[in-house]
Structure 1
Amino acid sequence: MPTERFYNLPAGKKKTIRDAAVEEFIRVPFEKASINKIIQAAGISRGSFYTYFVDKRDVLGYIFEDATENFQNSWVNCAEKNKGDLWKTAETFLQYSMANAKENVLRLIKNIADSEKLFGMTHQLCKENTRGQQELQEVMYRSIDTSDFKDKSIETFGKLVSMIFLELAHCMGWYYHHQEDEEKIKKIFQEKLEILQYGIRKQTLQS
């Protein structure tokens, strides 16, 4: 994640850097995104960039972090509408995302979802486990009714939600290309949620 020096920058400067990075990640897939183009658009030196971030993955982490409040509020609203049902909340969240997605947001999601390093990148972001990520996970966890979960730990909840959101990212990536497939995308997402919820075996594994 960004360094303390970055967080100490004026709000306007941070926004300029963020916007420059978003534009670059929209322009091309993540692997092809150019740090040079980001620093040129942001009007900062290469040296300054590396006092703020380790690499472009760090920048992407900040973009995710910056969007956390809106994401968090949207998730909680969906959970409240569905009385804490995780699976209905996920379906409602997908519908909300489709209904409110702007063209640039869809392109950004598409470019990240298409990334060959998506799994590793997501794993690393989760591995760092920043305070902001912990707080988001706790808010999401508290909004869900876990009374019928076999394992009620927040750690298992985090793993489950990461699988759900990987599928959601794929759905939004497809939606970017084929908005006419909206109902088909929702149906496939629902089917995948059912597999996560109920599994595929006819009986439980024998110990």
Structure 2
Amino acid sequence: MPTKRFYNLPPGKKKTIREAAMEEFIRVPFEKVSINKMIQKAGISRGSFYTYFQDKFDVLACIFEDAAEKLLESWRECAEKNSGDLWKTAEAFLDYSITNTKEHMLMLKNLSESEKMFGEIHKMRQSCDSGLYTLLEGMYEPVDKGNFKDQTMETFENLISMIFLELLHCMGWHYHHPEDEEKIKNVFRKKLEILQYGICKCQL
């Protein structure tokens, strides 16, 4: 993770560094990412870089952390606009993702092609478990759970995992075939309906 010194930087400086790093992770696969190019784009010295980050993995963690904050903010906005309805919120969030996360998709494509990243992503996830739980709590809070049979956080986590797995699938589909946008949204909506209502007939 980034050092305390990085977190103490002015917001504008942190944004400049993150954007420079993002450009580099989008430009090339992980193995070819150049710290020199990052610091040139960010306008900082190599010495300063290493007071903020230990290596490229720390920089990546910083990008993921910022993305998680934006994800939560956008999710909460979608929930507020849809009166806490989980299913409408998920549909609205897909719209948001299609419009606003193209750069992240390019970066994830590069990361997915890196053999070195397979084990490292798992390690990063383990080190961020508390942050992920905070994110989950933030997503849980604005959702109307009045119609849920089970309102526990564990069940909500399972449900959100299924929704986001399908959302990521839709984003990958859209990345390769943006002309299918309406079809993608319809398929996503139908899968949400199966999650919401099930597939079996109700037993009386």
- TM-score bracket relative to the smaller structure: 0.7 to 0.9
Task: Judge which range, 89-98 or 116-125, deviates more.
Answer: 116-125
Is residue 2:103 matched to residue 1:107? yes
Q: Deviations over 1:127-184 (max 9, x none)?
A: 52345x4443222101112233343222442343244224323322332332211011
User: Under a length normalisation based on structure 2, what TM-score does the superposition of the two structures give?
Assistant: 0.74
Between the aligned partners of 2:21 and 2:141, the Cα distance in structure 1 is 32
Is residue 2:81 matched to residue 1:81? yes
Between the aligned partners of 2:179 and 2:40, the Cα distance in structure 1 is 37
Give the unaligned 5+ runs of structure 2: none
Is residue 2:71 matched to residue 1:44? no
Cα separation, partners in 2 of 1:122 and 1:174, compared to 1, 3 Å: farther
1:5-16 matches, cutoff 5 A: 5-16=5-16
Q: Secondary structure at the match of 1:158?
A: helix
Give the unaligned 5+ runs of structure 1: none
Identity across matched positions, percent: 59
Q: Secondary structure at the match of 2:64?
A: helix
Matched residue, 1:148: 147
1:93-132 matches, cutoff 5 A: 93-98=93-98, 100-101=99-100, 105-113=101-109, 115-116=111-112, 117=117, 121=121, 124-125=124-125, 128-131=128-131
The AA in structure 2 aligned to 1:153 is: T
Matched residue, 1:18: 18
Matched residue, 2:160: 161
Matched residue, 1:179: 178
Between the aligned partners of 2:76 and 2:119, the Cα distance in structure 1 is 26
The number of residues matched between the two structures is 198
Given that residues 26 and 110 in structure 2 are in contact (C-alpha distance below 8 angstroms), is that contact kept between their aligned partners in structure 1? Answer: no
User: Under a length normalisation based on structure 1, what TM-score does the superposition of the two structures give?
Assistant: 0.73
Cα separation, partners in 2 of 1:177 and 1:144, compared to 1, 3 Å: same
Cα separation, partners in 2 of 1:27 and 1:202, compared to 1, 3 Å: farther
Cα separation, partners in 2 of 1:24 and 1:169, compared to 1, 3 Å: farther
Between the aligned partners of 1:84 and 1:119, the Cα distance in structure 2 is 36
Given that residues 57 and 121 in structure 1 are in contact (C-alpha distance below 8 angstroms), is that contact kept between their aligned partners in structure 2? Answer: no
Cα separation, partners in 2 of 1:29 and 1:171, compared to 1, 3 Å: farther
Cα separation, partners in 2 of 1:119 and 1:48, compared to 1, 3 Å: same
Q: What's the RMSD between the two structures over aligned residues? A: 3.4
Matched residue, 2:27: 27
The AA in structure 2 aligned to 1:115 is: L
The AA in structure 1 aligned to 2:10 is: P
Task: Judge which range, 12-21 or 54-63, deviates more.
Answer: 54-63
Task: Judge which range, 187-196 or 76-85, deviates more.
Answer: 187-196
